[in-house]
Amino acid sequence: MGFAAVNTGNNLLFLVVSSLLGFMAVSGFVGWLNIRNIGIAVDFPDEIYAGKEVFVPLHLENRKKRMPSFLLRVDAFGRSLSFPLVENRGAESDAFTVAFPERGESTLGTVILSSSFPINFFTRIKIVSVDSRCTVFPAPRDCAVADGPGRKDSRGEAFSSRRGYGGDVAKIRDYAGSDPLKHIHWRLSARHEDLKVKELTAPAETPLVVDIRALPGANLEENLSCGAFLINRAVRAGRPVGLKLGARFIKPDLTRSHRLQLLTELARYGKN
C-alpha cells in the first residue's frame, strides 16, 4: 500500500498508510507497557513425589501504579496459565498441575510472560527470572519387610504426643467426669475450686530404623521408594523412624520436619 501511494501520488493512500503505521506503533507501545512491572513468584509445596501430580501455585503481581494489565499468559513446566485482568497494584494467583518424572533437586529458573494485548496484532514476550527450587522425593512403593525393633536411638523418651495413660504429663486440665481418679492432681485441685487432671501422653511405638541397603528392592531406586513408603507409614502410625544410608545414620524421631528431612535425604542420595 505504501508503494501504491508513492506511485500514484494519492494523498488518501498516504493518510491510510500513515494511520496504519501510527496504529501499529501505538499498539506495540501499549503492549509493551502491558507486560512491564509484572512480578511472578512460584511456591513449590514442601512435599512432592516423583511421578505424582501436584499443584504448584503461581502468583502474579501488577506493580504498575495506574495501568491494569490484560490478557497475560505465563508459560512454565510445558503448560500455560492465562490471566485476563490484573488490576494495577493488584495480584492474581493460579496453579500449574505438574508431575516431576524423577527424584532429586528441581529448579525453575525462568518463565515466559506474554500478551497479545491490545488487538492481537503483536504478541509481546518477556523472559522473567524466577528463582524457585524444590526437592522431589522418591515415589513411595509398598514393600513387605519385617519391621524389627530397630535401634533405640530416638530423641528423648519413647513417648508420643498422643493422648494416653502411660507416658509423661502433657498438660493439666479440668476434670471431665470420666477421667480416672488416679489422674487427679490433688495438690493443684486444692488450690482451685475445680478438680484438675493430669493428661498423659501415650507410650510411643518401638523406633524403626530404615536401612536402605537392606530393603528388598531390585535396585537402588526401588529401595529408595520402599524407604519413603516405610518412613511415611511409620510416622502416620506414631512410630519414631530413623534412617541409615551407608555410613550415615539419622536418629529416629516423630515430627513432620524430621520426616521431610528423611525424605529429602532419600531424594538426594546418589545424586551428587
What integer pLDDT is reported at residue 226 of this predicted model? 96
Domains and CATH numbers, the chain: 37-137 (2.60.40.10), 139-157+206-272 (no CATH), 159-203 (no CATH)
Q: Which range has the worst mean pLDDT, 113-127, 153-167, 205-219, 255-269?
A: 153-167
Could you tell me if residue 214 is left (phi over 0), alpha (psi between -120 and 50 degrees) or otherwise beta? alpha
Q: Which range has the worst mean pLDDT, 70-84, 107-121, 136-150?
A: 136-150
Give the confidence band of 87 by pLDDT, cuts at 50, 70, 90: very high
CA distances from 250 to 71, 138, 211, 222, 258 (A): 50, 18, 10, 20, 10
Give the confidence band of 159 by pLDDT, cuts at 50, 70, 90: very low
Q: Is 47 exposed, middle or buried (0-12, 13-18, 19+ CB in 10 A)?
A: middle
Nearest-angstrom CA–CA distance, 101 and 89:
37
Residue 154 belongs to what H/E stretch? none
Mean predicted confidence (pLDDT) in 233-252: 92
What integer pLDDT is reported at residue 120 of this predicted model? 82
Could you tell me if residue 218 is left (phi over 0), alpha (psi between -120 and 50 degrees) or otherwise beta? alpha
CA trace torsion 260, 262, 267, 270 (10° rounding):
160
CA distances from 207 to 143, 145, 166, 239 (A): 19, 15, 17, 6
Tell which residue, 213, 240, 209, has the closest CA to residue 224: 213
pLDDT tops 90 at residue 263: yes
- 191-223 pLDDT, tens digit each: 777 788 777 665 556 889 999 999 998 999 999
What integer pLDDT is reported at residue 174 of this predicted model? 81
Position with higher pLDDT, 189 vs 262: 262
In 10 A of CB 107, how many CB atoms? 9
59 Cβ partners below 8 Å, 6+ apart? Answer: 40, 41, 42, 43, 91, 92, 93
Residue 158 belongs to what H/E stretch? none
User: 148 is written with which cell numbers?
Assistant: 524389627
User: 31 is written with which cell numbers?
Assistant: 503492549
pTM of whole model > 0.75?
no
What integer pLDDT is reported at residue 158 of this predicted model? 42
Give the confidence band of 139 by pLDDT, cuts at 50, 70, 90: very high
Residue type, 227: G
